[in-house]
């Protein structure tokens, strides 16, 4: 581990973990963007080994490890985040209308579990402003990185108007997306997870797909992001929509409402309150959902596996189980800015080792 990589755990324990989690995210993300804007690169980052690259959605990605939605909600730092070594970036969740999200505090670290609880509530500037930012990026020199855009429902929009809200965002954002994700699985927007019911989800996805393709003038790969808390039978029903509606695949999984298996004291968990839990505790269920999806989905369907990815072994395991790509979020927060380099370096070392055998 590099000296800077070894320093981060100490800083995390003695400084970062003592500051409000959301404020820390805002400051560190701003610093990352500023540093990249000045230097055009990030010190200490080792590019992924060439053998890790693959083609997905017709575009070459340098690594199968990408950044999950939630980190860059407003598409403000795509190129800086790509410079950390991620093979692809998913921005959002973006809603039809801008909204402040839930009251603060709404983001909490669980250091003993290397986990996070969030009840952000889709805080973002709205699809019109994010689309304008993506258009500006597209018109200037930028990094060629696979870009996903994750869209959700505006909280103030009633359930019967949810499809129109998603369609609005799809029309605005699809022209700039390499793939589009319909998020119906966050636990932090009231009633959102009800949209995972196939009777509601089928027409929603069909209309979003049609609107996205028309707006972009091309076939935009469309995926749906599901919750780990769904029963296996419900997951299989959603998976059946992939071939039926010509979807590109599924992102699995979002955060969980379960609190099972945590080391953090129960009184601390109770004091934090509601929200979606992410981190290693989600790994077992995420892997089970991945295995189920690979069994029931067509071979060509894309699965982006997310939930509990904290080291290179987690990426290897998911790829071996049939994931097309792997995403992380909490691993980066707890591991620091050079975490991506450490993971991809270990994956690259696997390639070198296999070549020697």
In angstroms, rounded to a whole number, what is the distance separating the alpha carbons of residues 177 and 221?
A: 9
Q: Annotated catalytic, 53?
A: no
Q: Which of 299, 250, 243, 306 is nearest to 278 (CA)?
A: 306
The residues near 31 (Cβ < 8 Å, ≥ 6 apart) are none
Say if CB 22 and CB 118 are below 8 A apart.
Answer: no
Q: DSSP character for 336? A: -
The residues near 7 (Cβ < 8 Å, ≥ 6 apart) are none
Q: Encoding tokens for residue 47?
A: 């590019």
Cis omega before residue 253 (within 30°)? yes
Helix residue ranges, H only, 174-320: 198-216, 232-245, 266-272, 283-296, 312-320
Choose the catalytic residue: 186, 278, 286, 341.
186
In angstroms, rounded to a whole number, what is the distance separating the alpha carbons of residues 310 and 95?
A: 29
Q: Encoding tokens for residue 64?
A: 């199968």
In angstroms, rounded to a whole number, what is the distance separating the alpha carbons of residues 217 and 233?
A: 35
**For the chain, counts of helices (H) and of strands (E):** 12, 13
Other Cβ atoms closer than 10 A to 95: 30
Q: What is the DSSP string of 234-251?
A: HHHHHHHHHHHHT--EEE
Q: Output the CA angle 75-120-328, nearest 5 degrees.
A: 60
Residue 83, CB half-sphere, CA atoms under 13 Å: how many? 19
In angstroms, rounded to a whole number, what is the distance separating the alpha carbons of residues 307 and 100?
A: 25
Q: Encoding tokens for residue 343?
A: 């993971």
Catalytically annotated residues: 186
């Amino acid at each position: 581990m590099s000296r800077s990589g070894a320093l981060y755990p100490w800083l995390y324990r003695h400084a970062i973990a003592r500051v409000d989690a959301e404020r820390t995210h805002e400051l560190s993300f701003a610093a990352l963007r500023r540093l990249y804007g000045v230097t055009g690169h990030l010190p200490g980052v080792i590019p992924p080994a060439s053998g890790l690259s693959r083609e997905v959605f017709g575009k070459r990605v340098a690594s199968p490890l990408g950044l999950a939605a939630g980190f860059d909600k407003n598409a403000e730092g795509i190129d800086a985040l790509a410079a950390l070594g991620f093979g692809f970036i998913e921005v959002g969740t973006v809603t039809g209308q801008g909204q402040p999200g839930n009251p603060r505090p709404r983001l909490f670290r669980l250091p003993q579990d290397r986990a996070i609880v969030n009840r952000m509530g889709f805080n973002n500037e709205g699809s019109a402003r994010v689309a304008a930012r993506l258009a500006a990026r597209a018109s200037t020199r930028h990094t060629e990185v696979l870009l996903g855009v994750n869209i959700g429902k505006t909280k103030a929009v009633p359930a019967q108007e949810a499809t129109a809200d998603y369609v609005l965002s799809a029309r605005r954002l699809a022209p700039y997306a390499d793939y589009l994700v319909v998020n119906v699985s966050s636990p932090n927007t009231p009633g959102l997870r009800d949209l995972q019911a196939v009777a509601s989800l089928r027409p929603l996805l069909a209309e979003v797909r049609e609107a996205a393709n028309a707006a972009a003038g091309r076939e935009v790969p469309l995926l749906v992001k599901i919750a780990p808390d769904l029963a296996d039978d419900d997951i299989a029903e959603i998976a059946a929509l992939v071939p039926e509606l010509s979807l590109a695949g599924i992102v699995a999984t979002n955060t969980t409402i379960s609190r099972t298996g945590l080391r953090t004291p129960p009184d601390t968990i109770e004091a934090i309150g509601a929200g979606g839990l992410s981190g290693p505790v989600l790994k077992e269920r995420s892997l089970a959902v991945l295995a189920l999806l690979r069994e029931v989905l067509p071979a060509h369907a894309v699965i982006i596996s997310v939930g509990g990815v904290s080291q290179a072994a987690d990426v290897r395991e998911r790829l071996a189980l049939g994931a097309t790509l792997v995403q992380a979020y909490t691993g980066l927060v707890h591991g620091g800015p050079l975490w991506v380099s450490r993971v991809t370096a270990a994956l690259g070392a696997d390639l070198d080792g296999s070549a020697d055998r």
